[in-house]
């Protein structure tokens, strides 16, 4: 047995079009975690593909990034080593959205205190969660 304090982010690699041997396409609704075809990110299996719903059954419009953040924060307080499953399409979407956001920002930022700055946490996801 192996014990680790590191949670594992498991990527579900989709092979897209198996005949073509291609990778999944981000603008394909089948690979979009917030697509109605995917039940709005899997928030509520009873909403018939109309998107995620809250406890009262009202359909909510949620950003796919928020759905991923909820997944990542769901292991807070769980035993170390609990896996967070992210699909390859979700990871690619996060990278693309992060890149666009960083490119749109100025080089210098004026920030107000207090602020938390963290560097490379070397995979210690639970240490990172303690900061937030």
Of residues 109 and 72, which shows the higher confidence score?
A: 72
* Digit-coded pLDDT (tens) for 14-57: 444 444 444 444 444 454 444 444 444 444 444 444 455 556 55
Strongest mean pLDDT among 47-51, 84-88, 116-120, 126-130? 84-88
pTM of the model: 0.42
Distance CA 51, CA 44 (A): 8
Specify the 3-state DSSP secondary structure of 111: coil
Cα torsion 130, 105, 102, 61 to 10°: value is: 70
Give the pLDDT confidence of 47-103 residue by residue, as tens digits. Answer: 444 455 556 555 566 889 999 999 999 998 888 888 889 999 999 999 999 999 989
List the structure tokens of 88: 């390859």
Q: What is the dihedral of CA 96, 98, 101, 117, to 10 degrees?
A: -170
Burial 13-24 (b: 16+ CB within 10 A, else e): ebebeeeeeeeb
Q: Label residues 75-114 b or e (16+ Cβ within 10 Å = b).
A: beeeeeeeebebbbbbebbeeeeeeeeeeeeeeeeeeeee
Instruction: Please report, for the chain, the start and end positions of each structural domain, with discontinuous segments joined by +.
Output: 9-130
pLDDT for res 93:
95
pLDDT of residue 121: 77
| pLDDT level of residue 8 (50, 70, 90 thresholds) | low
């Amino acid at each position: 047995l192996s014990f680790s304090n590191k949670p594992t982010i498991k990527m579900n690699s989709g092979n897209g079009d198996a005949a073509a041997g291609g990778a999944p396409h981000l603008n394909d609704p089948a690979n979009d975690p917030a697509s109605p075809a995917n039940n709005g990110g899997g928030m509520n299996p009873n909403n018939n593909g109309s998107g995620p719903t809250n406890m009262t059954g009202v359909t909510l419009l949620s950003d796919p990034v928020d759905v991923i953040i909820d997944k990542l924060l769901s292991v807070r307080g769980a035993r170390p080593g609990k896996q967070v499953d992210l699909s390859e399409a979700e990871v690619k979407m996060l990278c693309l959205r992060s890149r666009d956001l960083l490119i749109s920002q100025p080089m210098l930022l004026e920030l107000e205190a207090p602020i938390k700055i963290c560097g490379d946490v070397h995979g210690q996801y639970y240490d990172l969660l303690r900061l937030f």
